[in-house]
Amino acid sequence: MVNEKIAEGDNVLLYLDARRTYMLKIQAGQTFHTHKGYLKLDELIGRDYGEPIKSSLGIYFTTLKPALTDYIMKSSRNTQIIYPKDAALIVMFSGIGPGSRVVESGTGTGSLTTALAHYVGPTGKVYTYELRSEFQKNAAKNLQRSKLIDHVEMKSGDVTQGIEERDVDAVILDLAVPWLVVPHAYEALKPSGILVSFSPTIDQVVRTTEVLKETGFVFIETIECMMRGMQVERGKTRPQTLMTGHTGYITHARKILKLPQQEPTPEPIAEASPGLALEEPLETAEEESKTDQSC
């Protein structure tokens, strides 16, 4: 594979160590200042990703090509976001892939939108509903930075009032009242389409699950993903002392088609003579076991 060179306009993840990384856009004539000295961005253009670069104070940084998780973690935030550990499972449970059409709400910071757009592109679409215009504008900037905006249609409005799209592959919810959206999600989804809802509290999960059952969803499951980092060093390898205790619960379910209104079942006509069973079992358990042994 040909090495990709850093070009003007690229986003680069400048890496000092695991705790100190910086996302920057390469613009000719600009300098990037850190507490470890500054870097002239002109000097990065045309160089390989992964190359160490010396700052004005002689400290080495490495230029990395940003991955999806970097765009999520470095997004400009104005809401709580969905972290990569949960986004990964949401994508997996939703069954989406290139070409999928997905409805999402709320957009928030657009972190989950970024992940969804990455997986449905270039032929799929994410329709993301957001109530607050200031959040929507900020999310649009984040999606522009990750160059995924073309796979997203940003929709203003209250998703509890309805979803315009039809026959979508998946509906993904991350908002305070997901149960109010479940009936609209049912209308929007194609048969067997998948709903995934992320909620921080178990009360939200219970209400959502109850409405999912009433509305026409099956295969309903809720999970929680806990991620524990490891410090790895020979002779000292063990779990990190600090971990994120809780982010949220992920509930996923599949839409089924409702049965047509059934005719009332007619009363059985019991004409048989007294003492005679209407139906007799074809085989007793004993006979079944005999049959098995004879095979």
Ligand X SMILES: C[S@@+](CC[C@H](N)C(=O)[O-])C[C@H]1O[C@@H](n2cnc3c(N)ncnc32)[C@H](O)[C@@H]1O
Of 7-15, 43-51, 123-131, 162-170, which segment contacts ligand X by CB under 6 A? 123-131
Q: Does residue 105 touch ligand X according to CB under 6 A?
A: yes
For the bound state, the minimum distance from the C-beta of residue 149 to ligand X, rounded and expressed in Å, comes to 15
Q: Which two tokens stand for residue 219?
A: 């295969």
Residues 220 and 252 sit within 8 Å (Cβ to Cβ): yes
> d(Cα 26, Cα 33) in Å, to the nearest integer?
13
CB burial of 95-104 (b: ≥16 within 10 Å; e: otherwise) equals ebeeebbbbb
For the bound state, the minimum distance from the C-beta of residue 217 to ligand X, rounded and expressed in Å, comes to 20
**Contact pattern from residue 78 through residue 97 relative to ligand X, giving x for each residue in contact according to CB under 6 A and a dash for the rest:** -xxxx---------------
Q: Does residue 100 touch ligand X according to CB under 6 A?
A: no
Of 20-28, 77-85, 221-229, 251-259, which segment contacts ligand X by CB under 6 A? 77-85
> d(Cα 148, Cα 86) in Å, to the nearest integer?
20
Q: Which sign does the torsion angle of CA 144, 48, 27, 40 carry?
A: positive
Continuous segment of H or E residues that includes residue 146: none
Residues 62 and 53 sit within 8 Å (Cβ to Cβ): yes
Q: Which one of 63, 94, 109, 208 is in contact with ligand X (CB under 6 A)? A: 109
- Crossing angle for the helix pair 133-145 and 111-120, nearest 10 degrees? 50
CB closer to ligand X out of 24 and 112: 112
Of 17-25, 143-151, 170-178, 254-262, which segment contacts ligand X by CB under 6 A? 170-178
For the bound state, the minimum distance from the C-beta of residue 84 to ligand X, rounded and expressed in Å, comes to 10
> d(Cα 143, Cα 137) in Å, to the nearest integer?
10
Q: Does residue 126 touch ligand X according to CB under 6 A?
A: no
Q: Helix (H, G, I), strand (E, B), or coil: what is residue 84? A: helix
Q: Which residue is nearest to ligand X (CB)?
A: 106
Q: List residues binding ligand X (CB under 6 A).
A: 79-82, 105-106, 108-112, 129-132, 135, 158-160, 174-176
